[in-house]
Every structure is written in structure tokens, then in C-alpha cells.
């Protein structure tokens, strides 16, 4: 069967539990049509770049789908009809990614104490290391080293 990735954004007014229930509804539609959701990730309530239907935030959810095209069309039709779904995007892919998506990896990276670009949060410490001149050998240190 063809493989797809789908991301949809639900309204900010619903709770996270309701967003999960909405995702379960769409997964059931796929299952009824002979497909399956291989991975589901709830990315959380995130800011939107611009307002969509008077919403500034939205609940993001990712699906990795293994289903026939008819099942995906039916799911998308239901997404269009559902007033809680602001936007959705489905893309056909060659293979599905295993493990967490890039969105979840960046969330875990932030918890590890690094910024999104991979640097440590303590920039003062890093700046201090870069600005420190290299250790030069002092005459006293050279004389001590030669005497032993």
C-alpha cells in the first residue's frame, strides 16, 4: 500500500484530550477503509505563523499512514468537514521514518541543555573560553621544568 505523512492543526479552543480524540477519530476512519496509522505524534499547542480563522495557536498532530488512496481521501474529506481542523497536509512518501520526528527531537534536545542549534545554553561560559588567550609559557614555569 502507499505510504503517507499527514499533519493537521486543530483549533486552540479544544483541550489536548479532545485533540487526541480527534486524532483517534481520523485513525478509525483509516482503519475502516483498510489502512492503518503506523505512528502518531502529538506535537502540542504551538504558535501559528499567522492567524487562521481567528486562531493564533493550534494543536499539531502527525500521522504516518499505510493505507490505500481511497482511505486517505476519506480522511481528508472528514478533516475538511470538521470545524475543529484548521489546516491539514498529506504527502505521499517513499518510506516512513522510524523513531521520533524532527519536532520531537528538537523538544528533547532543548531538555538536554542545548539550544536548537546544538550549543549549550550557558553562552557566557562559551564566550569566556573563546576570548581567553592561549596559555603562554612563563619564564618561571620554564625554569621549573628544566630543573627537574
**Percent of the chain, pLDDT > 70?**
72
The whole-number average pLDDT for the span 11-36 is: 93
pLDDT tens-digit profile of 46-61?
Answer: 999 999 999 999 999 9
Grid cell listed for 66: 499505510
**Percent of the chain, pLDDT > 90?**
60
Residues 6+ positions from 48 with CB-CB distance below 8 Å: 9, 55, 56, 57, 58
pLDDT tens-digit profile of 114-143?
Answer: 555 555 555 555 666 666 666 665 555 555
Whether the CB-CB separation of 55 and 24 falls below 8 Å is answered with no
pLDDT at position 92 over 60:
yes
- Average model confidence (pLDDT) across the chain: 82
Give the pLDDT of residue 99.
Answer: 80
pTM for the whole structure: 0.69
Q: How far apart are CA 146 and CA 56, in angstroms?
A: 70
In which band, very low, low, confident or very high, does the pLDDT at 98 lie, cut at 50, 70 and 90? confident
Grid cell listed for 145: 621544568
Amino acid at each position: 500500500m502507499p505510504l503517507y505523512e499527514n499533519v493537521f492543526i486543530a483549533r486552540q479552543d479544544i483541550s489536548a484530550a479532545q485533540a487526541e480524540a480527534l486524532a483517534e477519530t481520523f485513525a478509525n476512519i483509516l482503519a475502516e477503509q483498510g489502512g492503518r496509522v503506523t505512528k502518531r505524534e502529538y506535537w502540542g499547542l504551538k504558535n501559528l505563523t499567522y492567524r487562521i480563522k481567528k486562531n493564533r495557536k493550534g494543536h499539531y498532530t502527525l500521522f504516518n499512514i499505510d493505507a490505500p488512496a481511497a482511505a486517505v481521501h476519506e480522511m481528508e474529506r472528514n478533516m475538511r468537514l470538521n470545524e475543529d481542523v484548521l489546516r491539514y497536509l498529506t504527502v505521499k512518501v517513499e518510506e516512513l521514518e522510524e523513531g521520533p520526528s524532527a519536532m520531537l527531537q528538537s523538544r528533547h534536545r532543548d531538555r538536554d541543555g542545548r539550544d536548537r542549534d546544538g550549543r549549550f545554553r550557558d553562552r557566557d561560559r562559551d564566550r569566556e573560553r573563546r576570548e581567553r588567550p592561549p596559555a603562554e609559557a612563563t619564564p618561571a614555569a620554564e625554569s621549573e621544568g628544566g630543573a627537574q
